[in-house]
Amino acid sequence: MNHLACILAVALFSTPMYSQECQTVSSSEPVSLAHLTQMARRVIESGAYTGWDEKAFVRAGDLGSVAIVDALPADSPITPLQIRAVLLLVRTSFECLDVCVQSTDDKEPKVTLLLLEHLRIHESPDAQSDVEIEDAQMFVLKQTDIARHAK
């Protein structure tokens, strides 16, 4: 019985410690461009992708691509792994377009299509990256078409 009480106490008292680190962003509150840019920079540089990143970018739409453009390294070409990180963020930004993205402007992939074209022409080091960029572009266009018809 005493052993069970110790386990329960550890479980109950450690939960608030982890909860203190969580950011409280309501699902209706838009994420700022500066915050998205900071998250995109970290994902692109480190390759680490968290649930907080997904939660923010899934509500971003085209604003996510604006943040990615701001976060891209200006002084050096990006690596294939960084291209994959960018494509992951782009896909995440458009995967729940019709329900999760509130702004109608962010439901149109204007900056996203320019970003993907830039990656294809100026940054793509190999044919595999070209295929992945093309797949991301097709995904974005398909999601945009679904969101238009959902109105």
How many C-beta atoms lie closer than 10 Å to residue 137's C-beta? 20
Q: Quick one: pLDDT at residue 124?
A: 79
Q: How far apart are CA 124 and CA 79, in angstroms?
A: 8
Strands (E), the chain: none
Supply the mean pLDDT for the chain: 84
Lowest-confidence region among 66-70, 117-121, 139-143, 146-150: 146-150
- pLDDT band per the 50, 70, 90 thresholds, residue 20: very low
- What values do phi and psi take at 60, rounded to 5? -90, -40
Tens of pLDDT, residues 49-59: 999 999 999 99
How many residues are recorded in the chain? 151
User: Comparing C-alpha atoms, which of 83, 87, 67, 79 is closest to residue 137?
Assistant: 87
Decide if pLDDT at 15 tops 50.
no
pLDDT for the residue numbered 41: 96
Side-chain-side CA neighbours of residue 85 (13 Å) = 22
CB atoms within 10 A of CB 130: 15
Q: Which tens digits make up the pLDDT trace of 71-110?
A: 998 888 888 999 999 999 999 999 998 899 999 999 999 9
pTM of the model: 0.79
Distance between CA atoms of residues 86 and 90, nearest Å: 6
Q: For residue 83, which of 42, 56, 110, 47 has the smallest C-alpha distance?
A: 47
- Reply yes or no on whether the pLDDT at 6 is more than 60: no
3-18 mean pLDDT: 50
**Mean predicted confidence (pLDDT) in 108-124:** 93
Rounded Cα distance, 85 and 68, in Å: 10
Compute the distance between CA of residue 28 and CA of residue 13 in angstroms, rounded to an integer: 31
What is the pLDDT, as a whole number, of residue 18? 39
